Amino acid sequence: MSALKGVGDKRKSALAEYGVHNVLELVTTYPRRWVDRTAEARVRDLTEGSEALVLVEVRKVTVRPMRNRRTMVTVQVGDESGRLSVVFFNQPWRAKQLKEGMQVALFGKAEVFRGSLQMTNPIVDVIGDRTGRIVPIYPQSEKASIATWELAGWVENALDRCSARGIADPVPTEFLSSNGLIDRHSAMRAIHLPQSMEEKESARRRLAFDELVRVQLVLVGRKRAYEANHRGIRHVIKGELLNRFAKALPFPMTKAQKRVISEIGHDLADAAPMHRLLQGDVGSGKTVVAVASMLMAVQGGHQGALMAPTEVLAEQHFSGVSRMLEGLMVPASDNLFGDRPLRVELLTSRVTGERRRSVLEELARGDIDIVIGTHALIEESVQFSSLGVVVIDEQHRFGVEQRAALREKGNSSLMPDVLVMTATPIPRTAAMTVYGDLEVSVLDELPPGRTPIVTRWAAGPLVEQTMWAAVREAVAKGQQAYVVCPMIEESEKLEVASAETIHASLSTGELKGLRLGLIHGRLSAPEKDDVMNAFRRRDLDVLVATTVIEVGVDVPNATVMVVLDADRFGIAQLHQLRGRVGRGALASECWLQTKNPEEPSPRVEALVESTDGFVLAEIDLELRGEGTLMGAMQKGRSDLKLASLRRDRELIEIARRVATEIIDSDRTLKKHQLLRDELRLLVSKSEAEYLFRS
């Protein structure tokens, strides 16, 4: 860094505080936007009330003291098309920052004040003497005192110094030419010093591809390493047991269920162990698919296990699966009568004493076909005779280690096949990037008999009266309702207090005379169960709850949900909550209450418009941005600075294809030394291990 022009010890320290410690980090600090001086950013193009960016020269700066030791800095700026006043309240340092003759970019809302255009407290980027047609604007740091024009100068200096020998390109040229990608050196120069916006976009596309191909190399490498190092069970996928199950169902399977069971069957018949993600919206029939997968194991003489994140959900699964499989007989050639009853058992921390000992012994002997439980299934004392298929529900609630621990319960050299399920739809691009080492199946069709949920927005006294009337009306018809209390992120204690307050208020107010129950996270497991069971038995009309009911609660008689302060929740969470109603043939509705009667939040608006979880997942990604989504990935794979999960679907698919071709021909990248070196440099050690272990 010290070799760069203008980077002495002081600026080197400032750069370190900014997050740049070497030339690689400098040249991969990309502009946050680019301004075309010839086509935009002129004063005359500003319109009152609209946000815009202008490139202007500072002409005059004045400082005026105000009351309470506050200051007002007024800056006169302009370009060849006109002039503009800029006012900064209580930012006295602006007078030192902005000098006459300086070129700056301003982003803010233009208003008319005393007949002239004015911006108040705009975002300011000092661009110095950058005179190119396209001006790159870098993220600035007031704390580190680094301006965009300084970064631009250092980056240009660094690129000039390496122009003679060029920048090494790790991607083989045949992949670049066939996918319309420019070389790395040209891309690096054009992202920082573009001659046109088209050139900048070509550069962004290539460098975004590089980020994505690194992610995909790790994921494909991990998948291939797992397949090479583990052998799976070749399951009997077509058998009488599966036919009997399908015929015994009280409803026909959807086309989506049949398609997904066929995809899973294809995996189960193969010698490589399955590792598949099943995405299914709320109520799409994932349980039927999970049971069919486990039955494919059972009909070949193996066992199935389903692990759920909570005891309530495990018990609910046990109850539902037991009903689904009631009376089902397993064809058994070693049985005198030719058939034997299918055994399904529950194993949670509440199964204790003699009952627990019995379940553990029968599991180890192979007398139990399917076991359903919580993380109790991965305790050391639990042994299987021959674990064939593992199903993990709400997989995001389990860590990698917990999933691996259950998979390793297979009592042989053959690995059980794993199906992980989620009811939180993931956008396709995100699934390919975050869960790229899993095959993905999607249930995108609801079973017949489900009545769509009507979602309404409630804000203001009149609409809220209608909302509470809807609850009372449903109860009068013999139906039930949920009232979900506001999310208070800072403290579970506050959330519980809020739930208790709302319960008391509704009992004496809007829902007086109805039988109200209360459930929240601070109740013990038995207390929660008591309340839920009372609600299921219809001993309660309304359940006031925190988000503990978000996953897995299944009460078909509950037809109305009220979510208070709905704008405090995320889209995925609101969609999960809404899925607690509409679970039967009865018409259901969900009320999303907010404090602001003027306009709903975009999240609430999205829920009112759509009940499709996959549509909502795409909207969520759009609204939320992908930072948090990528942040959920393990360290080393979250370096997407230019690539976007929202707009780069085509690039993600290209990167996946390229990574697969490279890994399949050279699993440890011995013939692709530059790629290997780059991954070692830019991907964390634990991730790189998947690629490079022999």
Q: From its phi and psi, is residue 36 left (phi > 0), alpha (psi between -120 and 50) or beta? A: beta
Is 490 part of any domain? Answer: yes
Which of 443, 465, 485 is the last residue before a domain boundary? 443
pLDDT value at position 395?
59
Q: Report DSSP letters for 564-584, one per residue.
A: TTGGGS-HHHHHHHHTTS--S
Give the contacts of 665 (CB within 8 A, at least 6 positions apart): 671
In a domain, 75, yes or no: yes
Residue 636 has pLDDT above 50, yes or no: no
155 with 19, same domain: the answer is yes
Residue 346 lies in a domain: yes
- Does residue 628 form part of some domain? no
Per the structure block, which two tokens stand in for 241? 């047991």
Q: What's residue 67's pLDDT? A: 81
**β-pair type (123-126, 370-373):** unpaired
Evaluate if pTM is beyond 0.85: no
Average pLDDT, the chain: 85
- In this prediction, residues 540-554 reach a mean pLDDT of 78
Lookup: tokens for 355: 């009952």
* CATH number of the CATH domain containing 48: 2.40.50.140
Q: Is the domain of 601 the same as that of 466?
A: yes
Mean pLDDT of all residues in 215-238:
84
Average confidence (pLDDT) over 386-414:
72
Residues 98 and 70 in one domain: yes
Same domain? 272 vs 399: yes
User: What range defines the domain where residue 72 resides?
Assistant: 35-134
Looking only at the bridges linking them, the beta strands covering 51-65 and 103-113 are: antiparallel
- Residue pLDDT, tens place only, 580-610: 888 777 889 999 999 888 777 899 999 999 8
Residues above pLDDT 90, as percent of the chain: 39
Contact 256, 445 (CB under 8 A): yes
Statement to judge: residues 114 and 154 lie in one domain: no
pLDDT at 347: 93
Give tens-digit pLDDT for 155-169: 888 888 888 788 889
Question: Residue 691 is which amino acid?
Answer: L
What does the pLDDT look like over 125-146, one tens digit per residue? 777 665 557 888 888 776 667 7
- For the ranges 114-128, 313-327, 378-392, the lowest mean pLDDT is seen at 114-128
Average pLDDT of 418-435?
A: 77
Specify whether 293 is located in the same domain as 399. yes
Indicate whether 199 belongs to any domain: no
Do 387 and 502 belong to one domain? no
Amino acid at residue number 318? F
pLDDT at 290 over 70: yes
In this structure, the answer to whether residues 581 and 510 fall within a common structural domain is yes
Average pLDDT of span 187-214 = 94
pLDDT exceeds 70 at position 579: yes
Q: Is residue 307 part of a domain?
A: yes
Which of 195-209, 336-350, 430-444 has the least mean pLDDT? 430-444
Task: Specify the number of domains making up the chain.
Answer: 4
φ, ψ of residue 265 to 5 degrees: the values are -60, -40
Which has the minimum average pLDDT: 326-340, 570-584, 603-617?
A: 326-340
Q: Per mean pLDDT, which range of 72-86, 130-144, 380-394, 455-469 is the poorest?
A: 130-144
Lowest mean pLDDT segment, chosen from 39-43, 300-304, 420-424, 461-465: 39-43
For residue 226, being part of any structural domain is answered with no
Q: Is the dihedral of CA 176, 180, 186, 191 positive or negative?
A: negative
CATH number at residue 483: 3.40.50.300
Within this chain, do residues 369 and 493 fall inside the same structural domain, yes or no? Answer: no
For the CA atoms of 685, 687, 688, 691, what is the dihedral angle to 10 degrees? Answer: 150
pLDDT tens per residue across span 498-508: 888 999 999 99
For 146-155, 356-365, 673-682, which range has the lowest pLDDT when averaged over its residues? 146-155
Question: Each residue of 89-136: pLDDT tens digit?
Answer: 988 989 988 989 888 888 888 999 888 889 999 988 777 665 557 888
Clarify whether residues 307 and 397 are in a common domain.
yes
**Can you tell me the distance from the alpha carbon of 588 to that of 543, in angstroms, rounded to the nearest whole number?**
16
Q: Are residues 284 and 242 in the same domain?
A: yes
Q: CA-to-CA distance for 460 and 454, rounded, in angstroms?
A: 19
CA distance 225 to 668: 9
Q: What residue ranges in 489-596 does DSSP mark as E strands? A: 516-519, 542-545, 558-563, 588-593
Question: Do residues 260 and 421 make contact, with C-beta atoms less than 8 angstroms apart?
Answer: no
The whole-angstrom separation of Cα 379 and Cα 367 is 19
Is 99 in the same domain as 129? yes
Q: What is the model's pLDDT at position 607?
A: 93
pLDDT at 226 over 80: no
Within-domain flag for 673: no
- Is 343's pLDDT higher than 90? yes
Q: State which of 398, 425, 443 marks the end of a domain.
A: 443
